[in-house]
Amino acid sequence: MIVLDLCCDRDHHFEAWFASGEAFESQLAAGLVSCPHCGSQEVRRLPSAPYVQTSSHSAPAASTAPSPQTIATRLIDALRSAAEKSEDVGERFAEEARRIHYGDSEERAIRGKADRKEVIELIEEGIPVLPVPPDKDDMH
């Protein structure tokens, strides 16, 4: 397998994998190569030192990626931090979200409680809402 640098007639640059240089040429001639950005089939190969995979084994993945648990914990912490910086409007959440959305109240971050029906209605009205997990203290 080789990786080739390609460019379309709209100057979008991209890479693509092919079994060989000949495979690229035959696929290009058959109209099977297109730009992933715009769909143009006017594609040309750019000068480059192509990457050639010499082994059937892929390189080991870098261990720098955080674990799914770490990502989830960071996301929950970020949501809680955003909630702490918002105004608690309690049971008036749906009403206040509408007032802000329609310009009847000052724009600000709010949090509060809404039942499923209210959340669906807000979303249908185009009002962005985001469920936030409760604080650690509220979970017990």
Q: Residue 76: its pLDDT value, please?
A: 82
Q: Which residues of 17-44 are buried (b: 16+ CB within 10 A; e: fewer)?
A: ebeeeeebeeebeeeebbbeeeeeeebe
Q: Residue 122: its pLDDT value, please?
A: 96
pLDDT band, residue 119 (cuts 50/70/90) = very high
Residue 65 has pLDDT above 50, yes or no: yes
Q: What is the mean pLDDT of the chain?
A: 85
Lowest mean pLDDT among 19-28, 87-96, 118-127: 19-28
